[in-house]
Amino acid sequence: MGISIFPITESFAAEIGDVDLAAPLAPAELAAIKQAFWTYAVLIFPAQTLTEQQHLDFAAHFGPLETSVAALNGKARLRLRADLADVSNLNSRNEIWGKDSRTRMIQLGNRLWHTDSSFKYLPARASLLYARKIPPIGGHTEFADLRAAYDALPDEVKARLEGLIAEHSLANSRLRTGFTNFTDAERAGLPPVPQLIVRTLPETNRKTLYVASHAGRIFGLPDADGRALIDQLIEHATQRRFVYTHRWRVGDLVMWDDRCTMHRGTEFDDLRWTRDMQRATVSDVANSCEQESVAIPAA
């Protein structure tokens, strides 16, 4: 028997059943999952039981894996191995973080609409988030379909966006939450990077917006105009008609295409409940400008 695909929305999110991601996948199963991924962009695999290694092995079918930002910053003690991002409210001793913890201040930026690692020159292609423990209320993840949002733009706006390049930086999104306390080493390790605002997905030839709270100025526009345009595009793309809200169950593995979606975590009482998630992240094949041979302007 092959995998089962249950669409949750018409063309954006689907549940995948009859597959055990802890076991080796048959080529036909993997091909069907990839086909569904290009079609939907958000796939949910319920009731999985995965070790860290099994989680990473499944992710590696989609490309090379990223090292987490925390590991890059040389954070002293990591709860998870360096190739998994710790998306939890726990410290390295598995205790709920403190109100003023620095990690908490930085992670609050995940409640803004973003796409993973767009602030890296080589951004993410796909993220695979696995739920180990969830709060009883809140702590959902919302996803916005940037392909559908692009399709819905008026033609004159599409024409205006063609070839525009935004500068992405982790500092941009954290500034929006009021966090500015980066160390010099962190700043030096994550310089602003260029990313196209409209991309074409090679597997389907579909065009998509590529914006996030990490985006700041736009090359060739006055700073204020560029930032205003990013805000307008995020607002457009996150209208309810483009958004799917995932309510987590323990054992869900949710994977999404970072090239054509944004996501954000919703609020929960993070000083009371544990939310323990781990994320494997697959790198894209090249910077978004390079992939489409668009010249990168001098900073």
Report the nearest approach of Fe ion to the CB of residue 64 (Å).
Answer: 19
Q: Interacting stretch for Fe ion, rule CB under 5 A, among 31-39, 109-117, 217-225, 267-275?
A: 109-117
Sequence-ordered strand ranges (E) for the chain: 4-7, 13-17, 42-45, 85-88, 124-133, 141-145, 165-168, 193-196, 198-200, 207-209, 215-218, 243-246, 253-257, 261-265, 276-283
Q: Interacting stretch for Fe ion, rule CB under 5 A, among 12-20, 94-102, 113-121, 162-170?
A: 113-121
> Which residues neighbour 106 within 8 Å (Cβ) at sequence distance 6 or greater?
174, 179
Report the nearest approach of Fe ion to the CB of residue 2 (Å).
Answer: 31
Q: Does 116 bind Fe ion (CB under 5 A)?
A: yes
Q: Does 167 bind Fe ion (CB under 5 A)?
A: no
Q: Does 66 bind Fe ion (CB under 5 A)?
A: no
Report the nearest approach of Fe ion to the CB of residue 162 (Å).
Answer: 27
Q: Measuring CA to CA, which residue among 183, 176, 243, 181 is closest to residue 214?
A: 176
Report the nearest approach of Fe ion to the CB of residue 42 (Å).
Answer: 13
Q: Which is nearer to Fe ion, 29 or 116 (CB)?
A: 116
Q: What is the DSSP string of 186-220?
A: HHHHS--EEEESEEE-TTT--EEE---TTEEEETT
Q: Which is nearer to Fe ion, 116 or 270 (CB)?
A: 116
Give the count of residues interacting with Fe ion (CB under 5 A).
Answer: 1
SS3 243: strand
Q: Which is nearer to Fe ion, 66 or 116 (CB)?
A: 116
Backbone phi, then psi, for 279, in 5-degree steps? -125, 130
Q: Interacting stretch for Fe ion, rule CB under 5 A, among 11-19, 48-56, 95-103, 112-120?
A: 112-120
Report the nearest approach of Fe ion to the CB of residue 80 (Å).
Answer: 15
By beta-carbon distance, which residue lies closest to Fe ion? 116
Q: Interacting stretch for Fe ion, rule CB under 5 A, among 55-63, 108-116, 118-126, 206-214?
A: 108-116
> Which residues neighbour 266 within 8 Å (Cβ) at sequence distance 6 or greater?
111, 138, 139, 140, 141, 142, 245
- How many Cβ atoms sit within 10 Å of the Cβ of residue 98? 11
Report the nearest approach of Fe ion to the CB of residue 127 (Å).
Answer: 7
Q: Interacting stretch for Fe ion, rule CB under 5 A, among 8-16, 78-86, 114-122, 147-155?
A: 114-122
Report the nearest approach of Fe ion to the CB of residue 91 (Å).
Answer: 20
SS3 288: helix
Six-digit token string for 115: 């796409």
Find how far residue 141's CA is from the centre of its chain: 11
Report the nearest approach of Fe ion to the CB of residue 262 (Å).
Answer: 9
Backbone phi, then psi, for 100, in 5-degree steps? -100, 15
Q: Which is nearer to Fe ion, 116 or 257 (CB)?
A: 116
Q: Among all chains, which residue has been given the structure tokens 């204020």?
A: 224
Six-digit token string for 173: 């999104």
Q: Interacting stretch for Fe ion, rule CB under 5 A, among 98-106, 115-123, 137-145, 207-215?
A: 115-123
Q: Which of residues 195-224 bind Fe ion (CB under 5 A)?
A: none
Q: Which is nearer to Fe ion, 19 or 256 (CB)?
A: 256
Q: Which residues bind Fe ion (CB under 5 A)?
A: 116
